[in-house]
């Protein structure tokens, strides 16, 4: 592990110390977790996966043309 020093505004330091104390963790652990969360949320440019595509759903059953969908729904509701 690498040791480092950082400078924090007094108010941020006090809030972080109190937050860590409430959770019974060290300020160092809080800082590590915060950095891990931040870096996971904002990955390096170019490291993103391929463009997202919606999953392909393969299902059986009756396929209804879109223009007939209202009729099928109406018929279903009338039969209930």
Cα–Cα distances (Å) from 27 to 5, 39, 69, 74, in that order, read 12, 18, 59, 62
Q: Using CA of residue 60, residue 66, residue 68, residue 73, what is the dihedral sign? A: positive
Check: CB of residue 76 under 8 Å from CB of residue 62: no
Residue 25 belongs to domain spanning? 8-43
User: For residue 23, is it within any domain?
Assistant: yes
pTM over 0.75: no
Q: Residue 73: its pLDDT value, please?
A: 83
- Mean pLDDT over residues 60-74, rounded? 79
The domain tally of the chain equals 1
pLDDT tens-digit profile of 1-40?
Answer: 899 999 999 999 999 999 999 999 999 999 999 999 998 8
Concatenated DSSP letters for 2-63? --------HHHHHHHHHHHHHTT--HHHHHHHHHHHHHHHSPPTT-S-SPP-PPPP---S--
User: For residue 34, is it within any domain?
Assistant: yes
User: For residue 32, is it within any domain?
Assistant: yes
């Amino acid at each position: 592990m690498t040791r480092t020093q950082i400078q924090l505004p007094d108010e941020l330091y006090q809030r972080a110390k109190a937050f860590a104390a409430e959770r019974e963790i060290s300020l160092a652990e809080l800082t590590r977790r915060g950095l891990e969360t931040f870096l996971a949320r904002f990955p390096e440019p170019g490291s993103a996966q391929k463009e997202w595509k919606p999953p392909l759903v393969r299902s059986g059953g009756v396929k209804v043309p879109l223009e007939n969908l209202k009729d099928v729904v109406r018929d279903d509701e009338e039969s209930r």
